[in-house]
């Protein structure tokens, strides 16, 4: 499955993406809203998990490629939420781009295609996005996509220790406009 936008391709992961992806998720600035940066082995395992998710139908995270020069910018897509959030349905949408590519609207452009795919091809009744409360850039992407914050669904991430500044999460939602 490939998705295409004006400037971007969302496509399957390739081995040739592994160096660029590892550099992105080893960058402390990119990862400042995650508990830690990722080692090369963890970056490879992350890609492997995205490929596995596509194979077993639990995830649709794809590589984002810029059409003009073939650069691999990062990831976006949807996936089943793999821990319990009582107030959320099954599907989340997410994104991570290398910092050289920020501020040009690439994340919302790519994610809009993934959202459309979730609604029209996966027939998801609703898609949510969540992030650390302090991650305002990611919340801007959610807002640009038309997702709306549901303060009643704020939650503490179960995998982040109590007292950690990234534990408090916010959740945004959008129902499938096709009903």
Ligand X SMILES: CC(C)(COP(=O)(O)OP(=O)(O)OC[C@H]1O[C@@H](n2cnc3c(N)ncnc32)[C@H](O)[C@@H]1OP(=O)(O)O)[C@@H](O)C(=O)NCCC(=O)NCCS
Q: Report the residue closest to ligand X, judged by CB.
A: 103
Lookup result for tokens 């992407």: 141
Q: Which residue in this structure is represented by tokens 């998705």?
A: 3
141: CB partners within 8 A, 6+ apart:
95, 107, 108, 111, 129
Q: Which is nearer to ligand X, 6 or 123 (CB)?
A: 6
CB atoms within 10 A of CB 30: 19
Q: Which is nearer to ligand X, 102 or 155 (CB)?
A: 102
DSSP state of 175: E
Task: Select 151 or 179, whichever has its Cβ closest to ligand X.
Answer: 151
Binding site for ligand X (CB under 6 A): 30, 33, 94-97, 102-108, 131, 135-138, 140-141, 144
Residue 111: CB minimum distance to ligand X, A: 8
Closer CB to ligand X, 30 or 62, in the complex: 30
Q: CA 122, CA 108: separation in Å to the nearest integer?
A: 19
Could you tell me the smallest distance in angstroms from the CB atom of residue 179 to ligand X? 27
């Amino acid at each position: 499955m490939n998705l295409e936008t004006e400037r971007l391709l969302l496509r399957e992961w390739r081995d040739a993406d592994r160096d660029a992806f590892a550099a992105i998720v080893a960058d402390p600035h990119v990862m400042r809203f995650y508990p830690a940066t990722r080692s090369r082995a963890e970056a490879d395992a992350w890609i492997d998990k995205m490929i596995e998710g596509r194979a077993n139908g639990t995830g649709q995270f794809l590589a984002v490629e810029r059409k003009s020069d073939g650069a691999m910018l990062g990831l976006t897509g949807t996936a089943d939420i793999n821990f319990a959030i009582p107030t959320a349905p099954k599907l989340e949408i997410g994104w991570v781009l290398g910092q050289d590519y920020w501020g040009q609207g690439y994340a919302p452009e790519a994610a809009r295609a993934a959202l459309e795919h979730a609604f029209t091809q996966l027939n998801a009744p609703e898609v949510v996005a969540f992030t650390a409360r302090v991650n305002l850039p990611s919340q801007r992407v959610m807002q640009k996509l038309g997702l709306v914050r549901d303060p009643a669904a704020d939650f503490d991430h179960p995998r982040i220790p109590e007292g950690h500044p990234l534990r408090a999460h916010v959740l945004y939602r959008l129902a499938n406009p096709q009903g």
